Amino acid sequence: MVDAQADIRAVEIASLGERLAVLRLCEPSALTAVRASLERHGQLAALTLFPESGALEIVDGFKRVRAARALGWPTLLARIDDVGAVDAKLRLCELHDRRGLTELEEAWLVRSLYRDDGLGQPEIARRMLKHKSWVCRRLMLVESLDPAVQADVRLGLLAPRAAVAVARLPRGNQPGASAVVIRRGLTVRQTDLLVDEVLELDAAARPELLARRMDGPITGRAPGVRPARAVRNEADWMSADVARIRDLSARLSARLLATPLATLGPGAAEILGDALVRLSPVLRALDGAIGAATGRVAA
């Protein structure tokens, strides 16, 4: 049981708020495990709450509260932190520093601080003790991921890491890819391979491929069996990389010329602007490597 301490007290769980629950995952299997632990051992760790608008909101302990409600428990022990909503969200991250939030949970948290609380990316980075590029990547992940796919993750149908892989696809292809992953029970690695396969096709051909993959094997063989294919040598891999970079560069150049960043809104413009600035040195380094490999002097 939780040790009695001056700053810990019993609270009625029926009225506890769960506003921050949207920032966390609560898979059915994890909830079942917490319920079994409560029945067998009692409450081992206090909830963490914060006051808001005359009520108490949960920062940490959503599964414990839901399991306790299912068991008919009226109260749980809790520690109440006298902080506001922003600090409560940051506290959520601190409390899971060792166990870690999933990449998608981190993205939800960053988006909430950025969109709901109006914190700038540098301020979020400073307060979370992260680099600004980390904040930008999390924002781009969650804002590029179709809400239907995020719902699949929340329902426990799609693994968070698989959702990160699906986020590499254009939004229009993401629900179809998620459906294939769920229907076929693909691993994260198999999901990566599926996404690679989809990205190799023209946009018009992608829906047809995903429709076929709903029932047919991903690689032409039974699921989980490595496909029979010629082993690629280093020249093959380089050729594939050159073709992909050339296609992506042409597509990105066309979009940048056709759509000024300012027309995308301040939030998206800031995120994409930062990403493009960080892309420039990568491209310069690639140009240098090409020059060294071909004997061409870089401009």
**199 domain residue, yes or no:** yes
The pLDDT tens digits for 189-237 are 999 999 999 999 999 999 999 999 988 655 443 344 344 344 456 676 6
Does residue 57 carry a pLDDT above 90?
yes
Neighbouring CB atoms inside 10 A of 118's CB total: 9
Helices and strands, number each (H, E), in the chain? 13, 4
Examine the domain organization and report whether 173 and 113 are in the same domain: no
Given 84, 110, 134, the domain boundary residue is 84
152 in a structural domain: yes
Is 138 within a domain? yes
Q: What is the CATH number of the domain that holds 10?
A: 3.90.1530.10
Q: According to the model, what pLDDT value does residue 263 have?
A: 79
Q: Which of 144, 169, 195 is the last residue of a domain?
A: 144
Question: Is 56 in the same domain as 5?
Answer: yes
Residues 251 and 191 in one domain: no
156 in a structural domain: yes
Give the Cα separation of 263 and 216 in Å (integer).
42
Note whether residue 269 is domain-resident.
yes
| Domain coverage including residue 270 | 244-293
Among 60, 104, 113, 63, which residue's Cα sits nearest to residue 85? 113
**Statement to judge: residues 140 and 154 lie in one domain:** no
Asked if pLDDT for residue 267 goes beyond 80, the answer is no
pLDDT of residue 274: 80
Q: What is the mean pLDDT of the chain?
A: 86
pLDDT for 292 equals 84
Q: Are 136 and 195 in a shared domain?
A: no
**Residue whose entry in the numeric block shows the structure tokens 């899971």:** 96
Same domain flag for 135 and 151: no
- Residues 153, 202, single domain; the answer is yes
**Domain contains 91:** no
Over range 153-167, report the average pLDDT.
Answer: 93
Q: What is the pTM of this model?
A: 0.68
Measured CA to CA, the distance from residue 226 to residue 185 in angstroms comes to: 16
Please tell me the predicted confidence (pLDDT) of residue 93: 87
Same domain, 5 and 72: yes
Does any domain span residue 64? yes
Tokens of 201: 């096709």
Higher pLDDT, 7 or 13: 13
- Rounded alpha-carbon distances, angstroms, from residue 95 to 22, 53, 88, 276, 293: 17, 23, 10, 33, 49
> How many structural domains comprise the chain?
4
The pLDDT value recorded for residue 294 is 84
In the beta sheet, which residues pair with residue 52?
Answer: 55
- Is residue 93 a part of any domain in this protein? no
Helix, strand or coil, per DSSP, at residue 76? strand
